[in-house]
Amino acid sequence: MTKSNNRESQYPIEPIFLDRWSPRAFTGEVIPESDLLGILDAAHWAPSSANQQPWRFIYTLNGADDWDVFVSLLVESNQEWAKHASALIFVVSKDFSGDFSEGRKSYTHSFDAGAAWAYLALQAKLSGFYAHGMGGIKHGEIRETFSIPEGYRVEAGIAVGRLADKSVLSERNQEREFPSQRKQLDEVAFNGKFIAG
């Protein structure tokens, strides 16, 4: 087993998988675009079905003119803390291959985009940042704001920032500012069978 970050795996694994977590307390510092691009570069090395690379990242940096617009596209409960991130990203996936008119739908676009998100989160941690995924985003407004056409799915938002003391958070968020645990491995990994639940 491996122990790190108040977490313990059942088998020996690389500590980075335990050290990555999703804090909400961010410093709000302005970062160079190259810092974020390094993280996105890692993300786009994720594997994907037929190497279609269906992920797309729409991003801005804290301090940019459109920062408030990006913040407004999060649900209120996420706005409260994510506005202090250093970068905000919306992940979009392309759900067809070739020309949209050909109608060849991709079965795995969301799965592939999820792999890219995981790479992003790990590289963020390795680069001295934390990445926090957000399902709580205004999907329709994001589609409208960025003129995202049919054939693309708005998947999730991501806040990237440097860790601050949890005292910057509301009382409710302070209470949940800790690395979470996981189910036992045998609740999710089955040898030769499937167990629902």
Ligand X SMILES: Cc1cc2nc3c(=O)[nH]c(=O)nc-3n(C[C@H](O)[C@H](O)[C@H](O)COP(=O)(O)O)c2cc1C
Give contact residues for ligand X (rule: CB under 6 A): 21-22, 78, 133-136, 156, 179-180
Copy the structure tokens of residue 175: 């209470």
Smallest gap, in angstroms, from Cβ of residue 98 to ligand X?
Answer: 28
Smallest gap, in angstroms, from Cβ of residue 78 to ligand X?
Answer: 5
Smallest gap, in angstroms, from Cβ of residue 191 to ligand X?
Answer: 25
Q: How far apart are CA 27 and CA 183, in angstroms?
A: 31
Q: Which is nearer to ligand X, 19 or 35 (CB)?
A: 19
Smallest gap, in angstroms, from Cβ of residue 107 to ligand X?
Answer: 19
Q: Which is nearer to ligand X, 38 or 136 (CB)?
A: 136
Residue type present at position 141: E
145 phi and psi, to 5 degrees? -60, -40
How far is the first Cα of the chain from the last one, in angstroms, to the nearest whole number? Answer: 26
Q: Which is nearer to ligand X, 189 or 194 (CB)?
A: 189
Q: Which is nearer to ligand X, 97 or 174 (CB)?
A: 174
Q: Which is nearer to ligand X, 76 or 150 (CB)?
A: 76
185 phi and psi, to 5 degrees? -55, -40
CA nearest 128: which of 162, 80, 170, 175? 162
**Edge-first strand listing for the sheet containing 152-161:** 55-61, 87-94, 152-161, 130-134
Smallest gap, in angstroms, from Cβ of residue 170 to ligand X?
Answer: 12
